[in-house]
A and B are shown apart, each in its own frame.
Chain A
Amino acid sequence: MSDISADGLDANGLVLAADGTPLKRSLARAMRRQKLRALLLVAPLLIFVLLTFIVPIASMLFRSVENDIVSNTLPNTVQELGRWDASTSELPPEPVFEAMFFDMFIAAEAKRHTRLGTRLNYEQTGISSLFRQTGRKLDDIGKVTKKPLEAFDSAWKDGETWYAIFNAGDAPASKNLMKSQRGLLKRLTSDPASGDVNFSPRADVTKLLPKAAREYTAWAIFTAVQDEKDPATRDPWESVYTALILDLKTADLSGYTGPNEDLLKAAQAADLPVPAFSEAFADMDKDWATPVPWKTIQTHSGLYTSGYFLNAIDAQKTDDGVAWQPENKQILLKLFGRTLIMSLIITGSCIMLGYPIAWLLSNVSARNANLLLILVLLPFWTSLLVRTSAWKVMLQQNGVINEVLVWIGLVPDAERLILINNQFGTIVAMTHILLPFMILPMYSVMSTIPPVYLRAAKSMGATNWTAFWRVYFPQSIPGIGAGSILVFILSIGYYITPEIVGGTKGVFISNRIAYHISSSLNWGLAAALGTILLVVVLALYWAYDRIVGIDNVKLG
């Protein structure tokens, strides 16, 4: 401390606080405590906002690209398909069909194959029913192998025979297989698949009969966890029979001395028939004999997909890149365009109607202004649904407006105007509903423009119109900007009003999002549409900031 000079500077010329610490540091410490306290105060709100705003949006963003359902449901098929060159327009090789058989078998047992079918149906119409049928007929393939084996030796009918072969008991167990099959089921069923199974695969059998061990383990876990039955006494799935016969074709059983050694060796010697998987699939449904479903699976097998986003803009991912959807399925881009244009029209009509009202509000005496303001805010006191329904009463074919027009003879009774369930209805009702959001920011800006500017302009020779246009209007633009942003952003995501008065031609993209969330259950697409909407709004906001400057926006 000896190097502190009299004026509170240290050797480096830094200012020191009274206790000799550098002023900067002691200031930072003081500020940190303040900031921490402030942070603690806002923490509840911050957490609330985080949980209710950031998290849902983040999860929506994630859902729009998430695609692990394919590789979770068909892990082996996806792996085998990776080696297949789809561009040759040949069918995939036999191992793909084989992997598909085993994957689908488990998926069908877990009743998860239809979910995948629904997912892939978004990309290729028809896959959904293909998967459903295949799931039902899969047992047939299994029976082709099960029956001969059971006929060959009825011991195979007995679940305990199988259990004796595959269960480790005191012998060394294959922990890896157990773990990987538990994982498989967990990903497939979103059930933790833990808990006691009363089974662990025998390590040497696993090596000798890999496919059979794999299927048996999966079956054992499934039976114990999902069906809550003891695998020791029950018959395994048909797929286990199939897997065993496949294994026996190549297995070298000479060194095997485990349980049921004779049975296995006899079965191998019998040289039972293996099913031809590709033919069997073609028998189930001839679609499997075309590359189409295989290409679809291969194209959409990634953990993440751009598929939903492409769907959202009427495109799709095919095996050779991105392509437009067929003409008759292209509706979303049109809907986006319509939403944008109609929102612009609504914003425009709000400006047209709101500007004079805001001007009036800011130019009448305070008492009248209050009264007017109450009238402006009055609609907020009634429910949105009621206001929208009121428009239905007004606009329908035998509604108030048409009745009046017919009554005064402007419109013949037979040709009543169609004012609702179209774009006109949506625009009218939404302009009415969003008008206060335009008037209020306009009013708050206009009431800060002193009337003296108009007088000054007139004293300099400007006519009323020039004074308004050159002097008053430019100063009211921040209000128009704020109102427009508010109205536009609100209307671009509006749902209830277009739903009620929009019919089919007057609905917005948000109605489509709602449809995908609650009716078609295509949440990925709904999330992608929502994300695009969000991005469009942000982009417009950014553009507005660049052109007008967000600092110029005044909300009050």
Chain B
Amino acid sequence: MADTKNNDAFVEFERVQKSYDGVNLVVKDLNLSMPRGEFLTMLGPSGSGKTTCLMMLAGFETATHGDIRLGGTSINNIPPHKRGIGMVFQNYALFPHMTVAENLAFPLEVRKIGKSEREEKVMRALGMVQMQDFAGRRPSQLSGGQQQRIALSRALVFEPELVLMDEPLGALDKQLRETLQFEITKLAHELGITTVYVTHDQTEALTMSDRVAVFDDGRIQQLAPPDKLYEEPENSFVAQFIGENNTLEGVVKEIKGGVALVQLDNGDLIDAKPINVAQAGQRTRVSIRPERVEMDKSRLQPDAHTLKAEVLEFIYMGDIFRTRLRVAGKDDFVIKTRNAPDQVRLTPGQIIDIGWLAEDCRALDA
């Protein structure tokens, strides 16, 4: 075991499993290791086990199997209140019978911190989220965004090294969410806290995180920095889940020189980069981002394969044009083009040729 243990790992999940009912595994073999100061986001569809992981880390659920370590020591048997982990809940969980200041003082009080120091820390924590003027109010007298700011500063006021946030911005409108996303990341980096952040919203995950763990079916499907996740999804689930994506299905004809020739189900041939395919004859699902599709043959390799496509719909979206095409018998193929002065605007019914660089098209698991 010792060799698998990463020395700068601060938070570690090792072969963690969780079942609530003894029948289904909600978390299956979770392995995760986070260095100090990292901002990690857990992203995944509903029911994929994100909250469960967070609760196991916080100590509100026990792992059925495996080891969770914090700073190198196993915390499996440490009760939640001794773990010193800050938490921000989706619905803020501000105590309604206490004022904002009392809410913030609570974690300090239970730590038996003196009154004057307590007050100073409370004001400092409120200052971090620009809420000093609201110290005397009750949570019910605050707007949603203000409540979330208070919840955030309450999680930070006792200076935990690890903060967990479970969809903290889920209930807020888009604009407020963006402001708070920025504030949270800024604070996390300034204070050097390690953060585990759970969200449904992939934009949020991509913009905020150092690394994103994509969850599905109780497993981490891919753990990578946002750019890698987007550009180099390791399987078709991740490719589908992150960003907009076109998929085509077919069989690998051959793999040569790092390029796979794939025959689509209607017989057309395309080039792709083999990721999860090893040999000819395997079924595969190829994935290509809409903005990587080329209509201009001159920008492709001379021998590149192209496909015929019929324009179904042209949508003007301001900064980009979004065009829906029928490709290889499927009519949900989308391409995105920049709204540049020389950009062609396609009209429905038009037949065009499309193609791509082999490395932009990933041949993934079927």
Q: Does B bind A?
A: yes
- Using a CB–CB cutoff of 8 Å, the interface residues on chain A facing chain B are 450, 452-453, 455-464, 466-467, 470-471, 474-475
Contact A452 B89 (CB under 8 A): yes
Question: Which B residue sits closest to A475, measured CB to CB?
Answer: B97
Interface string of B101-125 (1 = CB under 8 A from A): 0000011001100000000000000
Question: Which B residue sits closest to A452, measured CB to CB?
Answer: B93
Contact A459 B80 (CB under 8 A): yes
Q: How far is the CA of A467 from the CA of B106 in the complex (A)?
A: 10
A325 to chain B, nearest CB (A): 49
Q: List 5 A-B contacts (CB under 8 A).
A: A453-B93, A455-B80, A456-B95, A459-B85, A459-B86
B114 to chain A, nearest CB (A): 16
Q: Is the interface of A mostly helix, strand, loop or mixed?
A: helix
Q: How far is the CA of A455 from the CA of B61 in the complex (A)?
A: 11
A349 to chain B, nearest CB (A): 26
Within 8 A of A (CB), among B138-164: 154-155, 158, 164
Which residues does chain A contribute within 8 Å of B82, judged by CB atoms? 461
Which residues does chain B contribute within 8 Å of A464, judged by CB atoms? 81
Contact A475 B96 (CB under 8 A): yes
Q: How far is the CA of A321 from the CA of B84 in the complex (A)?
A: 72
Question: Which B residue sits closest to A449, measured CB to CB?
Answer: B96
B318 to chain A, nearest CB (A): 39
B31 to chain A, nearest CB (A): 24
- Asked if B91 is at the interface of the complex by the 8 Å CB criterion, the answer is yes
- Asked if B58 is at the interface of the complex by the 8 Å CB criterion, the answer is yes
B164 to chain A, nearest CB (A): 8
- Asked if B60 is at the interface of the complex by the 8 Å CB criterion, the answer is yes
Contact B97 A474 (CB under 8 A): yes
Contact B95 A462 (CB under 8 A): no
Query: In this complex, which of B58, B89, B93, B158 has the most chain A Cβ atoms within 10 angstroms of its Cβ?
Result: B93
Q: How far is the CA of A325 from the CA of B91 in the complex (A)?
A: 64
Contact B154 A460 (CB under 8 A): yes
B87 to chain A, nearest CB (A): 4
- The contact of A462 among B81, B91, B93, B97, by CB within 8 Å, is B81
Supposing A462-B106, A463-B81, A475-B97 touch, asked if A456 and B87 sit within 8 A by C-beta, the answer is yes
Which residues does chain A contribute within 8 Å of B154, judged by CB atoms? 460
Contact B106 A460 (CB under 8 A): yes
A365 to chain B, nearest CB (A): 13
Q: How far is the CA of A467 from the CA of B96 in the complex (A)?
A: 14
Q: How far is the CA of A455 from the CA of B82 in the complex (A)?
A: 13
Contact A450 B91 (CB under 8 A): yes
A447 to chain B, nearest CB (A): 15
- The contact of B110 among A452, A466, A475, by CB within 8 Å, is A466
A454 to chain B, nearest CB (A): 9
Supposing A450-B91, A452-B89, A452-B91 touch, asked if A460 and B97 sit within 8 A by C-beta, the answer is no
Q: How far is the CA of A121 from the CA of B89 in the complex (A)?
A: 74
Supposing A466-B110, A470-B106, A475-B96 touch, asked if A458 and B89 sit within 8 A by C-beta, the answer is no
- The contact of A458 among B81, B95, B96, by CB within 8 Å, is B81
Question: Which A residue sits closest to B87, measured CB to CB?
Answer: A459
Which residues does chain B contribute within 8 Å of A450, judged by CB atoms? 91, 93
Q: How far is the CA of A458 from the CA of B89 in the complex (A)?
A: 13
Contact A456 B96 (CB under 8 A): no
Q: How far is the CA of A467 from the CA of B85 in the complex (A)?
A: 16
B75 to chain A, nearest CB (A): 13
Which residues does chain A contribute within 8 Å of B97, judged by CB atoms? 474-475
Within 8 A of A (CB), among B64-98: 79-87, 89, 91, 93, 95-97
Contact A455 B93 (CB under 8 A): yes
Given A455-B60, A457-B95, list of 6 further CB < 8 A pairs?
A: A450-B91, A450-B93, A453-B93, A459-B80, A460-B106, A463-B110
B322 to chain A, nearest CB (A): 40
Query: In this complex, which of A455, A461, A464, A475 has the most chain B Cβ atoms within 10 angstroms of its Cβ?
Result: A461
Which residues does chain A contribute within 8 Å of B79, judged by CB atoms? 458
Which residues does chain B contribute within 8 Å of A458, judged by CB atoms? 59-60, 79-81
Query: In this complex, which of B60, B82, B86, B164 has the most chain A Cβ atoms within 10 angstroms of its Cβ?
Result: B60
- The contact of A461 among B89, B95, B110, B164, by CB within 8 Å, is B110
A363 to chain B, nearest CB (A): 15
Contact A461 B111 (CB under 8 A): yes
A452 to chain B, nearest CB (A): 5
Supposing A462-B110, A474-B97, A475-B96 touch, asked if A456 and B80 sit within 8 A by C-beta, the answer is no
- The contact of B93 among A456, A466, A470, by CB within 8 Å, is A456
Question: Which A residue sits closest to B95, measured CB to CB?
Answer: A471
Which residues does chain A contribute within 8 Å of B84, judged by CB atoms? 461
Q: How far is the CA of A462 from the CA of B106 in the complex (A)?
A: 9
Query: In this complex, which of B80, B86, B155 has the most chain A Cβ atoms within 10 angstroms of its Cβ?
Result: B80
A554 to chain B, nearest CB (A): 13
Which residues does chain B contribute within 8 Å of A466, judged by CB atoms? 110
Which residues does chain B contribute within 8 Å of A463, judged by CB atoms? 81, 110
Q: How far is the CA of A459 from the CA of B164 in the complex (A)?
A: 10
Contact A460 B107 (CB under 8 A): yes
Contact A461 B60 (CB under 8 A): no
Supposing A455-B60, A470-B106, A475-B96 touch, asked if A461 and B81 sit within 8 A by C-beta, the answer is yes
Which residues does chain A contribute within 8 Å of B89, judged by CB atoms? 452, 455-456
- The contact of A460 among B59, B110, B164, by CB within 8 Å, is B110
Which residues does chain A contribute within 8 Å of B83, judged by CB atoms? 459
A481 to chain B, nearest CB (A): 13
B239 to chain A, nearest CB (A): 35
Question: Which B residue sits closest to A462, measured CB to CB?
Answer: B110
Which residues does chain A contribute within 8 Å of B96, judged by CB atoms? 475
Q: How far is the CA of A452 from the CA of B111 in the complex (A)?
A: 20
B62 to chain A, nearest CB (A): 14
